[in-house]
Structure formats: C-alpha cells, structure tokens
Amino acid sequence: MAGKVFNSILAEAVKQYKSNYHSRMVYYSMLFWPILQLFASYYSYKPFENSKASNVISALVGKDKVFAFVIFGYMGYMFFGSFIQSAWRFSYERVSGTLELIYITPASRIGIMLGNALSSLLVSAWMFTVFCAGALIFFTDLKLKIYMLPVAILCLTIPAICWGVFLNTLFMFTRDSGLLFEVFQAPMEIFGGAKIPYQAFPFWGKLIGGIFPLTWSLIIIRKIFMNGATILNIKSELLVLILFCILLSILSKYLLVKAEKYARKTGNIAMF
Amino acid sequence: MNSVLATMKRNFISQIRAYPIGFFMGNITTCFFIVMGSFFVYSIVFEKNVSADFIAYSNTSDYMSYVILGSLIYMFVVRTFLNVSRSFITEMREGTIDSLLIAPLNHIGYLCGNMLEQIITTTMEVFVALIISLPFGLKFQSVNITSALVCIIISLLSFFGMSVILCGVMVYLRDTYISQNTVFAIINLLCGIAFPIQYLPKWAQNISNLIPVTYSLKIMRNSVLSGMSIFNQRQDFIILLLQGVCYCIIGILLLKIIIKKVPERQFI
Amino acid sequence: MITVEGLKKNYKINVKKGIFKREQQINEAVKGIDMQIKPGEIVGLLGLNGAGKTTTIKMLSTLIEPDGGKGDIDGMDLIKNAFEIKKIINMIAGGERMIYWRLTAKENLEYFGKLYNLPKKLLKNRIDELLSFVGLTEKMNVPVEQYSKGMKQRLQIARGLINDPKYIFMDEPTLGLDAPIAREVRKYTKKLARENGKGILLTSHYMNEIEELCDYVYIIDKGRKVMEGSPRDVISIAAKNTNKYIIRLESFSDKLKNNLDDFIKSVSSEYKIDNFDNAYDIEISSNKDIQSELITLLSANAKVLSFKVQEPNLEDAIIKLLEVS
C-alpha cells in the first residue's frame, strides 16, 4: 500500500515537473512575480505613510518593520500560491484527456494529488531561499534563531501542500475550477494576513482568516524571523496548524473518493 | 465582419453552456475581494486617513473611489488579456486550431470578435462589480460622462493592441501562465491601480508612462472623480490615442508573422 | 472472462428551453447489452457513431459506472471491485489526446508504468520492448509534441500495453496509422490473443480489419444489441448471402432492358445501372445463384466487357442490418 502511494507520488511529481517546469524561464518568473507583487503591496501602503493613523500599523507590526512584515507575508502567500496553481493546472488534465487514463489505472489517487503538489516544491523552495537570503541580508535587525529555520520551513511547506491537495480534490468535482480558484485565492490573500496584520481584523474577519492555514503559517513565520520566537512562543499556533493539516488530509482523501464516484456516475471526466 | 460575428457568437455559446456560474461570478469575486482588501486597509487599519502627498498626487482624498476605479479598469484589462491573448493558444490546446486556420478566416477579425464578446460580458461584470462596490465607498461626485466614454473607447483600442502583442508572445513561447502573469504583475505595480505612480522611482515612472493603462486610469479618474473635460485633459488623451494606435500596429504586424508559425508551434 | 448482462447507462443532460429555463432529459446511451469476452478471443463491437460503443468500453474499463445490469471481469464485479479490475485491463483509444505532449515517449511510458506499480527493472525492459514494437525507439527521447499523428497513435498503443493487461479495450487502434504499421498492429493484436491469451474488445470502422481479426462480433445500434455472431454468421444472416454481380456492357438496348427486367423479377432480385464512358455498369444483388443465366441473357443481347461476382462482406451486412433496425 505504502509502495503504491509512493510510486504514484513519484510518478506524478516527475511528470508535472517535466511538463510544467521545462525551462529556466519558469525559475526566473517564480522570483520575478513575487518581487513585483511584493513591491505593489509595499507601495499600496504609501498613501497612508505619515498620515495620522500610520502608527497603528507600527504598533501592530513593529516600528520600521512594515516592509519586512510585507515581505514575509508575500513570501508565504506566494509559497501557498504555487501549490494552488499546480492544483489548478491539474484540472487541465481533463482537457487533454489524460485524466481518464489516470483514473483507469489503480494508482493511488491521494498519491497523484500529493505528487502534483510536490512538483511545485522545488520551484517554491528556490523562491523561499532567495527571499529568505534577501531578508536576512537587508534586514539586519531580524531576530531569527537559526535552529528555528527548519521549523519555519516545515510550517510553511506542509500546510501549503495540504491546502494544495485539498483544493485539487475540490477541482475534481467541477469543470468550472476557475470560479473555485477565485473563491479561495482572493479571500486568502486578504484575510490570511499577507499584507494586513491579522490582529487588525474585526472578529468576523479573524473568523474568515482563521480557516486558512496560511494565516497560522504566516503568524509563525513572522514570529520566528522577526521576533526570534522559539517553539514555546508559537505552540498554540503550531497546534492549530497541525490540526488543520490532519483535517485537510482526511477531508481530501474523503473528497477524492467522492469525486471519482461522482465522475463515474455522470461520465463527466472527459468533459471540459 | 463574418469572422468577427461568428467568433463572438461562438464564444458566447461556449461560455454560457460550459460555465453558467463561473461566467459571471469568478470575475465579480476577484473584483469584490480586491475592493474589500483596500477597504480593510483604509478603514480598519488606517482609520480612513490618507497622507497629504496622496491627495496631491491623485487630486482627491477619496481613497476608496480611487482604488475601486483602479480595480474596475484592471478587471477590464485582465479579462481582455485572458480572452484575446489566449485565443490562439486555447484553440491549440482544444485541438481546433487547424480547422480554424484552414478556413478563410480574417485573423484580426477573429481577435476582434473575441474582444467584442469580451467587452460585452466584461461590461456586464463591471456593472455588477460597480454596484457591489458602492457600499465600500465608491462616490460619483463630479462625473464628465463624455470624457469618460471617450476614454473607455480609446482605452479599449489600446488594450486590444496590447493583447494582440501578448497573443503573439504566447504563441511563440507556447506558454500562457508565465507571460500573462508577468504582464499582470507589471501592470499591477506600474500603472497606478492601487496607488499613484508618483510613489515609484523616476525610472519606473518612465516605464509606467509607456503603458496605456496608466493614461487610461489617469483620465478615467480625472473624468469621474474630478469631472475634468476632454479639453482639459487633451494632452493625456492624445498620448493615450497615439499609444493605442502604436500598440495596435505593432500587434497586427507581429500577428501576421506569428500566424505563419502557429501550425509549427503546436502544441502545449 | 468478461461477462456483462443487461448493461445500461443513462446520461442526464440539460436542454435549454428558453433564456433561463432548462429541462433535464435522460439520454439512454446503453439500453441493456449482453456480452462475453473470453481470454484469447478477439471480439468486435460494431455500430454507427453514437450507438454506445465508447460508453460500453468506458463501463468495462471502470471509467463509468453502469446504471443497470451487471458485469464482471474474472469474477470481479465492475462496480464493487473496480480497483482490482484496473490492474488487469487497459484501454487504447485513437486520436492525439491522452498523452503528455511535453514529455518524451519514454517519459510517458515511465509515468504510466509507475502508476501501475511496475518494478523498476521490469518497467525498463517493457518500455524498451514496447517502443521497439511500435517503432519509436529512435525517437523515444523526443518530446511527443514533435511527433506525427501516426507516431502519437503508436505511442498510445504502447501505453495501452504497459501493464501487460489481461483484457484490452481497443477503440479504433489503427486510426491514422499508415498501412505497414496498421498491418503490424493487426498482426500483434492477433498474437496478443492467440499466443498471449489476452481477451480483446475491438471497435473499428475498418470492416476488413474486423473480418480479419475478430472471432466474434456484437453489433449495436442506439444502445441496444441488434445482432451477434462470428463475422461469417453475421454476413450470412444479415446479408442473406446476397451476392453482387457487377457487369460492364458495351451497349444496353431496350430489348435487353425488357428481358433483364423480366428475369430479375422472376428471381426476386434487384439491379441498378450506371452509364458513363460509352459503357453501361450494371449491379445486380441476388441471394440466388444466377450467374449462368445472367451470362446467357446478357451475351445474347450485348457485348459483355467484364463480369465480376462479389460475395457479401461485413460492411454490407452491417449496413443492411442497421437499415432494418
């Protein structure tokens, strides 16, 4: 069983990687966009700089740390984004007819979804490394404890994979994956705390933000990099994140079975 | 004209049959969340205070109207690019490109058909997005309708030109994902969607001024928020028109070359 | 063995009745099909476009769940044991879809092989064998997007055999292939059945292929089976042993026409005539042996330029059958 899952993960990850990340252009674009979006986000704060309320964000984020706050926010958001993009790309398997061929095999379905998510890992890791290195060079007052770096990486990677796999299973239900993508992606950007501090939201905003694993990943990442947090300092957020990952994994497995049953009933695998 | 009308009809039918909900909701949702995000930053984080230089750069203190107009124009730009630029690539992916190319199709007419269908559907979406944006603070204090309408028409010409160029790039690179997202990211940063371009470094502003979207936004905001007439913005109008014409000419010339490469450039 | 009884499939479709009104209609794609495919046997599934062939194949390959009837493959239920069935079946469809164009042939086969959990060494050997069989060894490291249509189709065949399936469903496998390769595919299909004991279900619009390969055929129309049997039996029953006599005459006088009309009426047959290039082509269909009487009648009244007797074939039989159906 484990062998079957592993084979499916490996096969799918290699295939997606070769199909989608087939040129160096991809690697440069994975850096270029986050940089552009990062600056767009940073400049969107400029209309409020030196206004009466600009100390509000300083109080929440830390004095002179707005840019660092935004950088880590966007890094996390883009990291999640690349897994979500790979989930969305999988829906093109319908168009090319290869989804049918995957369904005709006895391959592990969850393995396929995981493999698809993992195909983005290399490229996302590249982006993460560059951003981290840049942040550490440019922000000399960051308080990162180096032994917490693997914790930060895991707190970003595992929830992102779980979220990507979950969305992928949702996309399997519908030919209209574009709408689902928008419904999940845009609120995640706002309420997930990528550019607006989570603490600044009203209660209902926090409720919405709280359903995205990105929110908790970002809180942890920022605490680790900007405040020098240890495991004890992030234990409650870590617990929430672990519970999220378990829940998303169970839900994904359940939905995958349902999606295939639904596709077999309606015959809509080949329709797009 | 046959190519234009036939393409429009085909697109309408495909959209309505295959995506009855997503047809509308996806784009409305995107615009809604962009506006909501700005609203949160403005009213919750910064308690509706803007800085003096924002007021100086934008000729208004009405931040929400400023941002909402930016989002609505951005929505038009993105939808135009997504439809027109990706038209040939989509045909290639779905296996219909050969039947299209062997027909005596006017390729510019084909792209115009895509564009016109897109204008109609996006106008409906923008109208709904506008209604949704009203509670977030969109105000029409002083509107010069003539100026706004002329701006829209000239802007559409320039968006079309830009998207034809991008279409050629996509076919040549056999990729949509990287090229379109790069263009969107550049427009989002450089064209004044959510903040005045004067905040950018001088060299970046020079690039901004080469992109028609920058002038579209400037004219539209001046027409809708400050009620400026065509005459008072004549210089900006002329620049926008010239840019539109140039982009269209470049796009059409590029298309003529790229079309020949399409059969070789299959597939994705 | 594959056994299906009363297999049914309905599709729900939404039909627009106005701008906002939609009516749900049921499309009965397959209305109750019985079929058997034994290991080592090649079975043909024939019918016009839209008859339900592809839906039947998709049900057997566990892609679609039947809405009625029952089916099992080697004792495993089509619905309850779908996952187990997937290990021993595969599908080969015609066309250029269903492969990854950015990957090479080798990478495509590696991918699908891994999905079947094939051990590394076995997979490698099998890939080499299959690529050699379909004639793609030299191009195995070239991305599929650079292949011709025929090459893509050959890769499809290789992919369909990657797991050495016990039962293979071939949906127009020689579509788009040039004659030498198509012949090789037919030869290999026979070998797979006769020597390797595989059960094969084949659909094709090339009737000579069906006649050459199939031990048994099922003919379906509008979701129902209209006939089954060996190709010979189908021809003799459906075409009723109707021979065609194809004659070319130099002239066709009124006297000959009257004599021919009387003769054809007396043997309850029919004929048609075409005139071009200063000659007359007559085609007579009859299930009686009228060769000698015809020659006597025609040569007495005109110069016979050519005379051919054509036995009925499967294509004739199917056309006749489906006309009646």
The predicted-structure confidence for A205-236, as pLDDT tens digits, reads as follows: 889 889 999 999 999 999 998 888 899 999 99
For tokens 């239900």, the residue is A173
Q: What is the separation, in whole angstroms, between the first and last Cα of chain A?
A: 32
| Pairing status of strand C22-37 against strand C76-77 | unpaired
Structure token pair of residue C27: 């499309």
| pLDDT score of A43 | 87
Chains touching chain C through at least 3 C-beta pairs below 8 angstroms are: A, B
| pLDDT score of C206 | 82
Strand partners, C76: C73
Half-sphere exposure of residue A222: CA atoms within 13 angstroms, side-chain side: 29
Look at residue A184 and tell me whether its pLDDT is greater than 50.
yes
A19, A107, A269 ranked by CB distance to C115: nearest? A107
- The C-alpha R_g of chain A, in whole angstroms, comes to 19
Q: What is the separation, in whole angstroms, between the first and last Cα of chain B?
A: 30
- The answer, yes or no, to whether the previous bond of B267 is cis (omega within 30 of 0) is yes
Over range C129-139, report the average pLDDT: 91
| pLDDT score of A56 | 63
Contacts of B95 in chain C (CB under 8 A): 96-97
Domain of B112, in residue numbers: 2-261
The percent of residues above 90 in pLDDT, for chain C, comes to 30
Please count the structural domains in chain A: 1
- CB spacing of A196 vs B41 below 8 angstroms: yes
Look at residue B267 and tell me whether its pLDDT is greater than 50.
no
Residues 6 or more apart in contact with residue B154 via CB below 8 angstroms? B216, B237, B240, B241, B244
| Pairing status of strand C224-229 against strand C216-221 | antiparallel
Structure token pair of residue A162: 């779980």
- Residue B71 and residue B75: Cα distance in Å, rounded? 6
The percent of residues above 70 in pLDDT, for chain B, comes to 82
Strand partners, C25: C13
Residues 6 or more apart in contact with residue B8 via CB below 8 angstroms? B113, B114, B116, B117
Q: What is the separation, in whole angstroms, between the first and last Cα of chain C?
A: 29
Residues 6 or more apart in contact with residue A236 via CB below 8 angstroms? none
C62, C95, C100 ranked by CB distance to A104: nearest? C62
Please count the structural domains in chain B: 1
CATH match for C241-312 among 1.10.530.10, 3.20.20.70, 3.30.750.24, 3.30.70.1150: 3.30.70.1150
Domain of A214, in residue numbers: 2-45+54-270
In a domain, B116, yes or no: yes
Contacts of B195 in chain A (CB under 8 A): 43-44, 46-47
Over range A22-32, report the average pLDDT: 69
Q: Which amino acid is at C109?
A: L
- Residue C107 and residue C100: Cα distance in Å, rounded? 9
Q: pLDDT-based confidence at C99, cuts 50/70/90?
A: confident
| pLDDT score of B237 | 96
Over range C108-112, report the average pLDDT: 91
Look at residue B96 and tell me whether its pLDDT is greater than 80.
no
Chains touching chain A through at least 3 C-beta pairs below 8 angstroms are: B, C
Q: pLDDT-based confidence at A259, cuts 50/70/90?
A: confident
The candidate with the shortest Cα–Cα distance to C46, out of C198, C156, C201, is C201
Contacts of A94 in chain B (CB under 8 A): none
Contacts of C100 in chain A (CB under 8 A): 15, 19, 96, 98
Strand partners, A168: none
In a domain, B267, yes or no: no
3-class SS at A43? helix
- Residue A11 and residue C112: Cα distance in Å, rounded? 8
- Residue B26 and residue A146: Cα distance in Å, rounded? 42
- Residue C241 in contact with residue C312, Cβ under 8 Å? yes
Look at residue C19 and tell me whether its pLDDT is greater than 70.
no
Look at residue B9 and tell me whether its pLDDT is greater than 80.
no
The percent of residues above 90 in pLDDT, for chain B, comes to 31
Q: B206 vs chain A: nearest CA distance in angstroms? A: 16
Q: pLDDT-based confidence at C34, cuts 50/70/90?
A: very high
Q: pLDDT-based confidence at B262, cuts 50/70/90?
A: low
Chains touching chain B through at least 3 C-beta pairs below 8 angstroms are: A, C
Q: What is the mean pLDDT of chain A?
A: 82
Look at residue C291 and tell me whether its pLDDT is greater than 60.
yes
Look at residue B190 and tell me whether its pLDDT is greater than 80.
yes
- Residue C159 and residue C5: Cα distance in Å, rounded? 30
Q: What is the pLDDT of residues A53-109, one digit of tens each?
A: 566 666 766 666 777 787 788 888 888 888 877 777 777 787 777 888 888 899 988
Q: Which CATH class is domain C2-237?
A: alpha beta
Q: Any idea where the domains of chain C sit in the sequence? A: 2-237, 241-312
Give the C-alpha distances (Å, rounded to integers) separating B158 from B8, B126, B161, B215: 20, 19, 5, 10
- Residue B185 and residue A39: Cα distance in Å, rounded? 10
Over range C267-284, report the average pLDDT: 84
Look at residue C162 and tell me whether its pLDDT is greater than 90.
yes
Q: Which of B245-254, C160-169, C203-212 has the lowest mean pLDDT?
A: C203-212
- Exposure string (b/e) for B61-89, b if CB count within 10 Å is 16 or more? ebbbbbbbbbbbbbbbbbbbbbbbbbbbb
Structure token pair of residue C17: 């009745």
| pLDDT score of B268 | 38
The percent of residues above 70 in pLDDT, for chain A, comes to 86
Q: What is the mean pLDDT of chain B?
A: 83
C96, C97, C101 ranked by CB distance to B268: nearest? C101
Q: C12 vs chain A: nearest CA distance in angstroms? A: 8
Tell me the residues of chain A between 67 and 96 that have a Cβ less than 8 Å away from chain B. Answer: 85, 89, 92, 95-96
- Residue B207 in contact with residue B190, Cβ under 8 Å? yes
- CB spacing of C101 vs B95 below 8 angstroms: no
- Which of B152 and A74 is assigned the larger pLDDT? B152
- Residue B261 and residue C55: Cα distance in Å, rounded? 38
